Chain A
Amino acid sequence: MKVLVAVKRVVDFNVKIRVKADKTGVETANVKMSMNPFDEIGVEEAVRLKEGGKATEIVAVSMGPQQCQETLRTALAMGADRGIHVLSDAELQPLAVAKLLKAIVAKEQPQLVILGKQAIDDDSNQTGQMLAALLGWSQATFASKIALGSAEAEVTREVDGGLETVAIKLPAVVTTDLRLNEPRYASLPNIMKAKKKPIDQMAPSDLGVDVTPRLATLKVEEPPKRKGGVKVGSVAELVDKLRNEAKVI
């Protein structure tokens, strides 16, 4: 079975972000960029499915500026077979990304699409669910375990109260949560090999999708800073402050 994975290029999770002085967004120039960590988990899962004989081909898709090719190369070095890059310098919101992915799914006909549950830049947590809706497919979000059969997949999901298991009919969309797996580091030979793997490039217009944003960002600001308080000398002083000063216990 063919598996499609979506990978987004985002500001590396270790970078302390800075809000631009003109409040139009977050500084991304000269900042380290990486694959969205949840998408890395998605690529890893696809590669494991292939190693386990369940998947036959892995296609990685990324959307955004030219540099997304680096993100795709990372996916290819981890074990994806080929890449598709939808080139766009304009902002792509989740609904537009889902529509673009739908058009790619129509061409590629995968049985399974794996996406990260959310990107760590806009924190939307929408694209996978939207793609499933547009395709009329089943969905399993926040997956911590995937047992793939031929007609169905049994997926364990991380929900607020604990874990939930659902059986979903294939083809399906699955979004990853943190504990699904631990992504591998690409080896040097695999990084070299990945340079020779093919990446197709196309524009949103080639896929017939209108990507006009529906949400206008009016401003981006830093959250109010919390001030540090006082140090107390003992447990007794702490309990006294909580009872008599803060009055919270």
Chain B
Amino acid sequence: MSVLVIAEHDNAALKPATLNAVTAASKLGGDVAVLVAGQGCGAVADAATKIAGVAKVLVADAAPYAHPLAENLTPLVVGLAQGYGHVVATATTFGKNLMPRVAALLDVQQISEVMAIEAPDTFVRPIYAGNALATVKSSDKIKVMTVRATAFEAAATGSGSAAREDVAATADAGLSRFVGQALSKMERPELTAARIIISGGRAMQNGENFKMLEEVADRLGAAVGASRAAVDAGYVPNDYQVGQTGKIVAPELYIAVGISGAIQHLAGMKDSKVIVAINKDEEAPIFTVADYGLVADLSKAIPELKAELDRTKP
């Protein structure tokens, strides 16, 4: 049986997280097809045909898909799903919003946030904020699942040559409409796609001090994140939040500054390859997961870090 991957995009570009879903899909056996549903999304469809490992790209280009409304996308995906053994999306807010609606209409129990594929019907997923891992086996005919992007490598782009096929659009469900969006301006990489992340916690004390982190981030090409405590204190907007109730990240380098290491924060970043903790409290739990710990006051250590990066720049 083949696998259908639902692409996430903004009609202009494919979201990188889709590439992780393609890799997960390729581990399920069978051909991988990617659905690009949007309006004026031709460039996205072209990009999708070039993803390595994709056999076919299905394109539904119509007004009801101008914005990713679950009410409008669901009938399209449900209609297509009948021919597939698996329907896969990344566990982003897009995938989490859409896939359960699809699963319910197919009368199947979705598998959420898959971290590993043991067999085409057997998956590992986190429960209790990642404090336990459950291995589950699905008895449903079609497996509808979301996958955790950081658990799968991104598929290569540029080398593929998938066939492109237009599919008939479904009508506007007439249940919901897009009103507007306020996306944070990101001059730095997105958190979920960044190779390096530097995050601040409550000890940053105010939003102004995050500028110090930004200066370090710019020297490393890093994204800036925050703990829930820093977000709740209003230092930075909520989409900066790394943690179980925020974003799950797994960069090559994660630098935690003034973050004590609450369970909820650790659940969001403990799969990072190298973790650095800078905290003046040497008993802080963050040091138990850090590869390199520095006990220091951040107001001194961060400017020093910036200067040291400049001084030792290769």
| A95 and B104 contact, Cβ closer than 8 Å, known pairs A165-B181, A168-B175, A242-B274 | yes
Nearest B residue (CB) for A235? B304
Q: Which residues of chain B are within 8 angstroms of A122 by Cβ–Cβ distance?
A: 127
Q: Considering only CB atoms, which chain A residue lies closest to B305 in the complex?
A: A235
User: Is B136 within 8 A of A230, CB to CB?
Assistant: no
Interface SS majority for chain B? mixed
Q: How many residues of B contact A (CB 8 A)?
A: 88
- The 0/1 profile, CB within 8 Å of B marked 1, for residues 5-17 of chain A is 0000001000011
Among candidates B132, B181, B274, B276, residue contacting A26 with C-beta atoms closer than 8 Å: B132
Q: Is the CB of B128 within 8 A of A17?
A: yes
Q: Which residue of B lies closest to A126 (CB)?
A: B100
Q: Which of B104, B132, B288 contacts A133 (CB 8 A)?
A: B104
Query: Is A238 located at the chain interface by the 8 A CB criterion?
Result: yes
**At the interface, yes or no: A248 with Cβ under 8 Å from chain B?**
yes
Residue of B nearest to A96 (CB): B109
Decide yes or no whether A106 CB sits under 8 A from chain B.
Answer: no
Binding-face segment, A47-55, A59-67, A136-144, A185-193: A136-144
Q: How far does the alpha carbon of A164 sit from the alpha carbon of B113 in the complex, in Å?
A: 22
* A159, A222, A226: the one within 8 Å of B132 (CB): A222
In terms of DSSP, what is the predominant structure of the interface of chain A? mixed
Provide the bound-state CA to CA distance between A213 and B186, in Å: 43
Please report the C-alpha to C-alpha distance between residue A158 and residue B182 in the assembled complex, in whole angstroms.
10
**Are the C-beta atoms of B136 and A216 separated by less than 8 Å?**
yes
Alpha-carbon distance between A153 and B93 when the two chains are bound, in angstroms: 20
- A242 and B112 contact, CB distance less than 8 A: no
Q: Does A146 contact B (CB under 8 A)?
A: no
B139 near A238 with CB under 8 A, answer no
0/1 string, B95-122, CB within 8 A of A gives 1: 0111111111101111111000000001
Bound-state CA distance A127–B109 (Å) is 10
Q: Is A229 touching B138 in the complex (CB atoms < 8 A)?
A: no
The answer to whether B135 touches A219, judged by C-beta atoms less than 8 angstroms apart, is yes
Return the CB mask of B111-153 against A: 1 if under 8 Å, else 0: 1110000000010001111111111111110000000000000
Say yes or no: B179 contacts A154, CB within 8 Å. Answer: yes
A15 to chain B, nearest CB (A): 9
The complex places the Cα of A134 from the Cα of B126 at a distance, in Å, of: 26
Chain B contacts with A in 284-298, Cβ cutoff 8 A: 287-296
Q: Which of A11, A154, A240, A246 contacts B274 (CB 8 A)?
A: A246
State A169–B72 Cα separation when bound (angstroms): 13
Residue of B nearest to A157 (CB): B93
Interface string of B252-290 (1 = CB under 8 A from A): 110000000001000000100111100000100001111
Contacting residues of chain A (163-206) with chain B, CB-CB under 8 angstroms: 163-169, 178-179
Contacts of B68-93 to chain A: CB distance below 8 A:
69-71, 74, 92-93
Chain B residues contacting A220 (CB-CB under 8 Å) are 127, 132-135
User: Restricting to A224-249, which residues have a CB under 8 Å from any CB of B?
Assistant: 226, 228-232, 234-236, 238-243, 246, 248-249
Is A121 a contact partner of B263 (Cβ separation < 8 A)? no
Known pairs A238-B305, A241-B292; A246 contacts B101 (CB<8 A)? no
Q: Which residues of A contact B239 (CB under 8 A)?
A: 158, 160-162
When the two chains form their complex, are residues B110 and A126 in contact, meaning their CB atoms are under 8 A apart? yes
Min CB distance A212 to B, Å, is 9
Whether a CB of chain B sits under 8 angstroms from the CB of A125 is yes
Query: What residues on A are CB-neighbors of B288 within 8 Å?
Result: 226, 228
**In the complex, what distance in Å separates the CA atom of A142 from the CA atom of B245?**
11
Which A residues lie within 8 Å of B19 (CB)? none
Q: Decide: A215 and B176 in contact? CB cutoff 8 A.
A: no
What chain B residues lie within 8 Å of A208 (beta carbons)?
Answer: none
Bound-complex Cα distance A25 to B182 (A): 41
Inter-subunit contact B247/A235 (CB<8 Å): no
A120 close to B (CB within 8 Å): yes
Bound CA span A167–B99, Å = 20
Residue of B whose beta carbon sits closest to that of A226: B289
Contact A246 B253 (CB under 8 A): yes
Minimum CB–CB distance for A19 against chain B, Å: 5
Is A150 in contact with chain B by the CB < 8 A criterion? no
Assuming A163-B182, A167-B176, is B100 touching A130 (CB within 8 A)? yes
Residues from chain A with Cβ under 8 Å of B112 in the complex: 123-126
**B69 to chain A: which residues have CB within 8 Å?**
166
Tell whether, in the assembled complex, residue B237 and residue A229 are in contact, meaning their CB atoms are under 8 Å apart: no
CB neighbours (8 Å) of B12 from chain A are none
Nearest 6 CB-CB pairings of A with B: A214-B109, A129-B100, A229-B291, A130-B104, A126-B100, A138-B175
Given contacts A214-B109, A242-B292, 15 further A-B contacts (CB under 8 A): A129-B99, A141-B93, A142-B97, A161-B184, A161-B190, A162-B183, A166-B179, A167-B179, A178-B245, A214-B140, A216-B137, A228-B290, A235-B296, A235-B301, A243-B314
Residues of chain A at the chain B interface (Cβ within 8 Å)? 11, 16-17, 19, 26, 93-95, 98, 120-134, 137-142, 144, 154, 157-169, 178-179, 213-223, 226, 228-232, 234-236, 238-243, 246, 248-249
